[in-house]
Amino acid sequence: MLALDSLSLRVGDFWLREVTLRVANGEYFVLLGPTGSGKSLLLECLCGLRRSESGRIRLGDRDVTHLAPHQRKVGYLPQQSLLFPHLSVRANLMFAPRLRGLSRRQARDLADPIIRSLGLGNLLDRRPGELSAGQARLVALGRALAAHPDLLLLDEPVGALDEPGRREVCQQLRRAHKDFGATTIHVCSSLAEAALVADRVGILAAGRLVQIGRLEDIRLQPAGAEVSRLLQIDKRELL
Amino acid sequence: MSDRHDNRTSPAGPRFHFLSVVSLGMLALLVGLIVALFASSLSYESLSLRHVVYLAGSPEILAAMQLSLTSSLLTLAAVMIFAVPAGYALARYRFPGRALADAIVDMPLVVPPVIIGLSLVMFLSTGTGQTIESGLKAGGWSLQSTFGIVLCQFFLCVPYAVRSAKTAFLEVDRSLEQTALTLGCTRWQAFRKVTLPLARNGLVAGGVVAWARALGVFGPMLVLLASAQVKVETMSTHIYLELSSGNLEFAIAATAIMMVLAGAALLAVHALAPGRKWS
């Protein structure tokens, strides 16, 4: 289980305030909010790329609040795919296993189920520059999964894709989640996208986590004007 | 005027206009002047290629070449040991005095080279310098021998490598390092496995330029030569001394060798340039 207790973070004038959240093992949690609400900051704090001002982050029975990123076992898929351009797709996928000292064969054995699940078999010898945006997202997801993280963070994983691409990648995200069961936090600003993948949703507005629940429940009973406004905007997207 | 890039970016209209004629004309003139300058030094009438090759094999030139190559390679090693971390620090970290440090690294580029040699000689006359010199002599070294040559070359050449390293590191997306951290890399592993390979071409190009500069350092060598009790004759000082003694043939033979080495360095830098950015 991921447990955030009163996590606060400040960047310039912006505050992410007192975020308290529980995400169960194997849950697919979507963090929904408008641009500039602090979603990406929260993810960067969870994976250790930013220090929190106060509060605590626990992952299972480990307090990871002050651990360096490489000690957390938190996989992170940033908004840009950020594949390593000097490595082939295969080498990108085997990056984390090889880092752990596995032999090439062991790393391949570990990466194979991920490659099959995400349908990356025909891309393995390509360079990142030769991939479409959707393919690059899936490879980046596969690379993060190959690190066997306790928690997987996806920052706008389909944000740069067109509508059919979004649906397809969202389906593959759910399939990978089912296959590998990693506890996942998926950040997006689209209600339609959240509806495709989420077990539960948290609404983040102006640095505060204002509502948490199942999407249907939030739609029926939005907690306050900010959530209502966000849902109104997105209803048009759903039509 | 007909390459792929121009086809994509040139607007419709006449191919040759005032700007293109002037800019291309000036470029052609500059290239012509540089070629003419170097060609003239090698077109000395009474000197055939065979003669140059023969002279280049003389013990004096071979000794100068050996000292030049040894010292410039030692300089290259020392330069890279400093330039890679310094370039990384300037590219990645914000710290008090960063702008000043950045400017000071460039200082040898704007100071007349002869001042470097003079400063070294002056330093030798201080108490600290003499202590260091006696310490070096105990170990079989001297500031007035290869060690001194390497020091002069180092100060003159290190800015080129630092500039190049800084630019190469700036071109590597910092987010790639951060991604590597989340995949289990320590900071050192992220640097070694991601940043360094991506900056490699820029670093190598900077090293080649620094080495080529080291090979040709002259001003400080002359000061060192004047004050040295031992023979510190590199290729550049050898050319000068041969010229001063009226041995034009030997000077030209040494010049030819220097130009071949410089040409090789230039080719290496340009061969590396297109691959600097990974796409």
CA distance A16 to A42: 8
ipTM of the complex: 0.86
- Closest CA of chain B from A179, distance in Å: 20
**Domain end (from A115, A148, A181):** A148
Q: Are residues A44 and A154 in the same domain?
A: yes
- Which of A128, A148, A168 finishes a domain? A148
DSSP-based three-state secondary structure for A81: coil
Range in A185-194, A226-235, B105-114, B243-252 the model is least confident about:
A226-235
| Side chain identity, residue A127 | R
A28 versus A133: the higher-pLDDT residue is: A28
Residues A142 and A159 in one domain: no
| B194 neighbourhood in chain A, CB within 8 Å | 84
Contact yes or no for A132/A162 (Cβ under 8 A): no
Residue A111 lies in a domain: yes
Residue of A nearest to B188 (CA): A70
Whether residue A234 sits in one domain with residue A158: yes
The whole-angstrom separation of Cα B216 and Cα B69 is 10
Contact A47 B182 (CB under 8 A): yes
Which class for B196: exposed (0-12), middle (13-18), buried (19 or more C-beta within 10 A)?
A: middle
Residue A113: inside a domain: yes
Inter-chain residue contact B181 with A69, CB threshold 8 Å:
yes
Closest-CA residue of A relative to B184 is: A70
Residues A102 and A141 in one domain: yes
Question: Cβ of A130 under 8 Å from any chain B Cβ?
Answer: no
pLDDT at A238 over 70: no
In a domain, A201, yes or no: yes
Residue B279's pLDDT band (boundaries 50, 70, 90)? very low
Residue A78 lies in a domain: no
Beta strands A28-32 and A74-77, pairing class: unpaired
pLDDT digits (tens, 9 = 90+) for B81-108: 999 999 999 999 999 999 999 999 998 8
State how far the alpha carbon of B130 is from the alpha carbons of A210, B121, B144, B197, in Å: 72, 11, 12, 43
- Does pLDDT of B231 surpass 80? no
Token pair belonging to A44: 């960067």
Nearest to B186 among A70, A85, A96 (CB): A70
Q: Does B156 touch chain A (CB under 8 A)?
A: no
For residue A129, the chain B residues in CB contact (below 8 A) are 278-279
Q: Which of A152-156, B25-29, B73-77, B141-145 has the lowest mean pLDDT?
A: B141-145
Contact: A99, B189; criterion CB under 8 Å:
yes
Give yes or no for a contact between A93 and A121, defined as CB atoms under 8 angstroms apart: no
Mark whether A93 and A144 lie in a shared domain.
yes
Report pLDDT for A236. Answer: 55
| Cα A82 from Cα A85, distance rounded (Å) | 8
A68 and B185 in contact by Cβ < 8 A? no
Say what percent of chain B tops pLDDT 70: 87
Lowest mean pLDDT across A100-109, A230-239, B59-68: A230-239
Is residue A54 included in any domain, yes or no? yes
Contacts of B185 in chain A (CB under 8 A): 70, 99
- Whether residues A92 and A20 share a domain: the answer is no
pLDDT band at B116 (very low <50, low <70, confident <90, very high): confident
Q: Which of A56-70, B7-21, B63-77 has the lowest mean pLDDT?
A: B7-21
Q: Is the pLDDT of residue B7 over 60?
A: no
Closest to B237 (Cα-Cα) out of B38, B76, B51, B68: B68
Residues A92 and A126 in one domain: yes
Judge whether A94 lies within some domain. Answer: yes
Q: What b/e sequence results for B82-118 when a residue is b if at least 16 CB atoms lie within 10 Å of its CB, and e otherwise?
A: ebbebbbbbbeeeeeeeeeeeeebeebeeeebeebbb
Do A154 and A67 share a structural domain? Answer: yes
At B140, the pLDDT band (50, 70, 90 cuts) reads confident
Is residue A111 located within the same domain as residue A41? no
Q: A224 and A111 in one domain?
A: no
Angle between helices A163-180 and A133-146 (to 10 degrees): 10
Query: A107, A129, A148: which is the final residue of a domain?
Result: A148
Of B175, B185, B193, the CB nearest to A80: B175
The mean pLDDT of chain A is 89
Q: Which residues of B touch A78 (CB under 8 A)?
A: 175, 178-179
* Whether residue A194 sits in one domain with residue A133: no
| Chain B interface mutation, best of A43, A87, A88, A95, highest count of B Cβ atoms under 10 Å | A95
Q: Dihedral angle at the C-alpha atoms of B112, B116, B118, B122, nearest 10 degrees?
A: 140
Q: Is the pLDDT of residue B66 over 70?
A: yes
- Please enumerate in sequence order all residues whose Cβ is within 8 A of that of A73, keeping only pairs 6 or more positions apart, or say none: A59, A147, A148, A149, A150, A151
Nearest to A99 among B178, B179, B185 (CB): B185
Q: Are A27 and A70 in contact, with CB atoms under 8 Å apart?
A: no
List of residues 6+ apart from A238 with CB closer than 8 A: A191, A192, A195
Inside any domain, residue A228: yes
How many independent structural domains does chain A possess?
A: 2
Domain assignment present for A79 = no
- The pTM of this model reads 0.79
pLDDT of residue B183: 94
Here the CATH number for the domain that contains residue A53 is 3.40.50.300
Structure tokens at B163: 């500039």
Judge if A224 and A106 occupy the same domain: no
Query: Residue B183 in contact with residue A95, Cβ under 8 Å?
Result: yes
Range of the domain at A154: 2-73+150-238
Rounded mean pLDDT, A46-73: 93
Name chain B contacts of A102, Cβ cutoff 8 Å.
none
